[in-house]
């Protein structure tokens, strides 16, 4: 703690659990390990690594994250059922600092799902929390949909959980229903009312359905909560969760009115934000607080003039504080490998020598085709380099013709399992024709859920970043690619997603989420 007069607030990151529950945000095993390492390096106190009983893939990821961890508490989620809790403990027990997080829905709507009376649910809470505490001395308990639970009953079950051995009581606003004043009042009243409340840490877990997740979390902290559950980029179901970067920077920037400290290294924020966006396939909106492309951009003449005279006129945070460079190092076709490495470091991205070699080749090729290479172009190259690899499907060449005279035609040469094949297909536009050519060479039942194109920078020579999300037999895979040729980027993104499905198909069920919402409780 840097300031002994400030209270410590613990950061509980659930990007790998609640964040990954966003439709289409499923991450591979290696991606989960990478994100967990970045979270720990950034100083996250508790990492909720997954839901071990949901699938064999989730269990293996949580177990390996636990084994690799050093400082962070590694937490697994478990329903209020003994097999769930046993499976969770089996996954996290090798962590130096393990935690079991068990929950049950306590509101009238959620009690109706397992058809339990208030007394029956109270008995189950005592039994399951006691069981968890007998396995692990660090137990978190959550009354799901707490903000819509009768206050008297909420007090009763929290008291039971504390007596059973819970060390952290988390109060979830599961559907983003509450508002800041109400959030603060609820935490304050619970701490004042529940016997034993002064012996545990109260936590807040807010969703963003009404756009108030960050405000609700900060209000809860002011009322006595000392743990915030959040995700990188606010990733999460429906409208998402409280964004880690928002609450951390709010506490840091407004310490004058919120005297609380976290131990997050905020200089790592941009790096992990970009990586989570890449592996999840969820682009960060341009005007997103803290990590959006425009968060530190100034176009208005008045703003620019003020910034040139004194940056504090229009910036309440320094870009450097979140991992952005304060100055720009322009790159072009004459730039060398050392300059590229320096630029990547400046952008908060560290790569190995082999990766740098690959990115440098792509950079030189791009610099020959573009007048200016922007920071966003460099980051897109990094994404492409990390996405590509020795895959089952590899594009060799693509030729597309289109116009107003008739249907578009795509001629595609592609390696399928090492064998080079070609096909020519027609379609309603160049992308449609290209995707048909891919399917002709690699027949599949994958359904296109999302096709999204973003211009990385300005101008007619801008790179396009394409995201493709596919669904096949309940499995979801996302592919991304970037190129100045939008059609080629589309083909690469489509093939990347198919490669991911191919891997998952060969490891049947590894990453499939087997537990639905209706199974909870």
CA 191, 197, 203, 204 torsion-angle sign: negative
Structural Rg of the chain based on CA atoms = 25
Residue by residue, pLDDT tens for the chain (521 residues) are: 344 457 999 999 999 999 988 877 778 899 999 999 999 999 999 999 999 999 999 999 999 999 999 999 999 999 999 999 999 999 999 999 999 999 999 999 999 988 899 999 999 999 999 999 999 999 999 999 999 999 999 999 999 999 999 999 999 999 999 999 999 999 999 999 999 999 999 999 999 999 999 999 999 999 999 999 999 999 999 999 999 999 999 999 999 999 999 999 999 999 999 899 988 888 888 889 998 877 766 444 444 344 345 555 546 788 788 887 654 445 777 778 887 888 788 777 878 888 888 888 888 888 887 766 777 788 777 877 766 655 789 999 999 998 877 799 999 999 998 899 999 999 999 999 999 999 999 999 999 988 989 887 767 777 888 989 898 887 888 888 888 899 999 999 999 889 888 877 766 544 444 444 334 33
In angstroms, the Cα distances linking 432 to 40, 402, 425, 451 are 42, 11, 9, 11
What confidence score (pLDDT) does residue 10 get? Answer: 98
Q: DSSP letters along 301-324, please? A: HHHHHHHHH-GGGT-SS-GGGGT-
Residue 398's SS3 state is: strand
In angstroms, the Cα distances linking 34 to 216, 285, 304, 504 are 30, 23, 38, 19
In eight-state DSSP terms, residue 284 is: P
Cα separation, 251 vs 323, in Å, equals: 17
What confidence score (pLDDT) does residue 56 get? Answer: 93
Record the tokens describing residue 435, joined without a space: 């995707």
Q: Give the residue numbers of the binding site for Mn(2+).
A: 18, 205, 207, 241
Query: 381 near 364, Cβ under 8 Å?
Result: no
Paired with 425 in beta bridges are 410
What confidence score (pLDDT) does residue 198 get? Answer: 95
Query: 294 near 492, Cβ under 8 Å?
Result: no
Antiparallel, parallel or unpaired: β 227-230 and 201-206: parallel
CATH of 7-280, one of 3.40.640.10, 3.40.47.10, 3.30.1280.10, 3.20.20.70: 3.20.20.70
Residue located via tokens 């002011």: 222
First to last CA, the chain: 38
What confidence score (pLDDT) does residue 354 get? Answer: 83
Per-domain boundaries in the chain: 7-280, 294-322, 325-386, 389-506
What confidence score (pLDDT) does residue 73 get? Answer: 98
What confidence score (pLDDT) does residue 508 get? Answer: 52
Record the tokens describing residue 297, joined without a space: 């951009």
Topology of domain 389-506 in CATH is Double Stranded RNA Binding Domain (3.30.160)
Q: Give the residue numbers of the binding site.
A: 18, 205, 207, 241
Cα separation, 358 vs 365, in Å, equals: 11
All residues at 6 or more sequence positions from 518 whose CB lies less than 8 Å from its CB, including other chains: 113
CA 157, 158, 160, 166 torsion-angle sign: positive
What confidence score (pLDDT) does residue 312 get? Answer: 56
């Amino acid at each position: 703690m840097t300031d002994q007069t400030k209270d410590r607030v613990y950061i509980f990151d659930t990007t790998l659990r609640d964040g990954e529950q966003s439709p289409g945000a499923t991450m591979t095993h290696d991606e989960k390990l990478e994100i967990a390492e970045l979270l720990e390096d950034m100083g996250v106190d508790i990492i909720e690594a997954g839901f071990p009983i949901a699938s064999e893939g989730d269990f293996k990821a949580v177990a390996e994250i636990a084994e690799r961890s050093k400082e962070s508490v590694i937490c697994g989620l478990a329903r209020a059922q003994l097999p769930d809790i046993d499976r969770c403990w089996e996954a996290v027990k090798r962590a130096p600092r393990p935690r079991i997080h068990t929950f049950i829905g306590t509101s009238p709507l959620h009690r109706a799902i397992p058809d339990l009376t208030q007394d029956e649910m109270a008995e189950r809470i005592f039994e399951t929390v006691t069981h968890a505490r007998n396995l692990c001395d660090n137990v978190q308990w959550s009354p799901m949909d707490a903000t819509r639970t009768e206050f008297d009953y909420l007090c009763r079950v929290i008291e039971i959980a504390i007596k059973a051995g819970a060390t952290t009581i988390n109060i979830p606003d599961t559907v983003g229903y509450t508002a800041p004043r109400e959030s603060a009042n609820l935490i304050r009243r619970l701490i004042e009312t529940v016997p034993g409340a002064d012996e545990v840490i109260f936590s807040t877990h807010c969703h963003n359905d009404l756009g108030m997740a960050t405000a609700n979390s900060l209000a809860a902290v002011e009322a006595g909560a000392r743990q915030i559950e959040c995700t990188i980029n606010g990733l999460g179901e429906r409208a998402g969760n409280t964004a880690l970067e928002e609450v951390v920077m709010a506490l840091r920037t407004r310490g004058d009115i919120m005297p609380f400290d976290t131990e997050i290294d905020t200089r790592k924020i941009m790096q992990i934000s970009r990586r989570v966006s890449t592996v999840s396939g969820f682009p960060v909106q341009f005007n997103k607080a803290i990590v959006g492309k425009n968060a530190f951009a100034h176009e208005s003449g008045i703003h620019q003039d003020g910034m040139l005279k004194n940056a504090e006129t229009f910036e309440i945070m320094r870009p450097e504080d979140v991992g952005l460079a304060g100055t720009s190092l322009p790159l072009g076709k004459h730039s060398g490998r050392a300059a590229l490495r320096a630029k990547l470091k400046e952008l908060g991205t560290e790569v190995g020598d082999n990766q740098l070699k690959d990115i440098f080749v792509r950079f030189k090729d791009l610099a020959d085709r573009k007048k200016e290479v922007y920071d966003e172009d460099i980051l897109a190259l990094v994404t492409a380099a990390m996405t590509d690899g020795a895959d089952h499907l590899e594009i060799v060449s693509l030729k597309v013709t289109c116009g107003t005279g008739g249907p578009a035609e795509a001629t595609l040469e592609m390696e399928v399992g090492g064998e080079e094949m070609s096909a020519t297909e027609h379609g309603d536009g160049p992308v449609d024709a290209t995707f048909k050519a891919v399917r002709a060479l690699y027949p599949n039942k994958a359904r296109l859920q999302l096709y999204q194109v973003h211009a990385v920078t300005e101008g007619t020579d801008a790179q396009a970043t394409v995201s493709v999300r596919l669904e096949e037999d309940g499995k979801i895979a996302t592919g991304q690619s970037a190129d100045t040729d939008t059609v080629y980027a589309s083909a690469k993104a489509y093939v990347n997603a198919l490669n991911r499905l191919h891997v998952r198909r060969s490891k049947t069920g590894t990453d499939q989420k087997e537990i639905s919402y209706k199974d909870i409780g």
